[in-house]
Amino acid sequence: MKIISCFVYGALVMAAIGEMVVCSAQERQMGGVGITVFTDRDFRGKSSTFRQDVTDLQPTGLNDKVSSLRVGPGEQWEICEHSNYQGRCVVVSGDEADLRRNSWNDVISSLRRVNAGPAPPTPGDLYIVLFDRTIFRGNPTNYNGATADLGNNNRRAQSITIGRGAWELCEGTNFTGRCVTLERSVADLIVYKLRNRVSSVRPIRAGGPPTPPPADWYIVLFDQPTYRGNPTNYNAEQSNLNKKAQSVTIGRGVWEICEGRNFQGHCVTLDQSVPDLRSYNFRGHVRSVRPIRPQPR
């Protein structure tokens, strides 16, 4: 009943003032058009859906209070840190569950619909947006499938928005060279040593269940750098570890290692041994590992 009540009330307000609708988290009815902003991360707290440009969020009570947002399918919106679209601005699409990751938490003061680059895929599809400047600025380019050669965008990406899915970014064309797996947006790819180095991208969790890897694949984790200390071998997926790891030997195959359990948090895809995992911004622990069969090239 609350959802219906909020929806009817919102329709009346929209008809009267042509602005926005505010509902509690329990009453929220998400629409498929416009941008919905939330005062808390993970799409919680007070929310408002806007279908028209907003030059100043101050009258809505949401100025400098937005912590997550959702953009309707096929739309792109520009968000700015000052009213009247002044100051720092960035084009967004899809979902952003935690704007702290992008340095945009509690700073948005105006927003407007834009048409920049190709529209993102419909819900349920996997897609990413590469930007040729840091902090999700500059020219955005969308990808919704494996791209073996970025062409004119080769080695130009400096930041990335993960719209949906888990994606592998590689330094070489045809998914060669050093590759990193990402599930979250990254404001500056320099943290993965990939700024201006990405040449191919592909989703790694799309379609049906993955083909099992060969039985002779294995990985060895060491609790000290340069393959010293206590070694631990794995030859199958492990989703719940608490393993101190500072170096890794890839005995055979391609492996994803993650700081979080169940392959969450910071993850990288490796096809060669690493003498010091700090070079991939690992902080001393690996909590999940799994073999990944490369997609056909």
For the stretch 41-82, pLDDT in tens is 888 999 888 888 899 999 999 999 999 998 877 778 888 888
In a domain, 82, yes or no: yes
Of 1 and 36, which is predicted with more confidence?
36
**Does some domain include residue 297?**
no
What is d(CA 192, CA 194) in angstroms, rounded to the nearest whole number? 5
Q: Is 123 a residue whose pLDDT tops 50?
A: no
| Residue range 8-21, pLDDT digits in tens | 334 333 333 333 44
Task: Give me the pLDDT at residue 246, please.
Answer: 92
Domain span at 137? 127-203
* Element housing 40 (H / E): strand 35-40
Given a contact cutoff of 8 angstroms between Cβ atoms, the answer to whether 274 and 251 are in contact is no
94 and 141: one domain? no
Indicate if 6 and 89 belong to the same structural domain.
Answer: yes
Chain position carrying tokens 């969020």: 57
pLDDT digits (tens, 9 = 90+) for 182-240: 888 888 898 888 999 999 898 876 433 444 556 678 888 989 988 888 888 888 888 88
Any domain includes 212? no
Task: Specify the 3-state DSSP secondary structure of 198.
Answer: coil
Total domain count, the chain: 3
> Residue 50: which CATH number?
2.60.20.10
Cα-Cα end-to-end distance for the chain: 52
In this structure, the answer to whether residues 235 and 270 fall within a common structural domain is yes
Which residue among 114, 135, 170 closes a domain? 114
Residue in 189, 56, 69, 213 with CA at minimum distance from that of residue 133 = 189
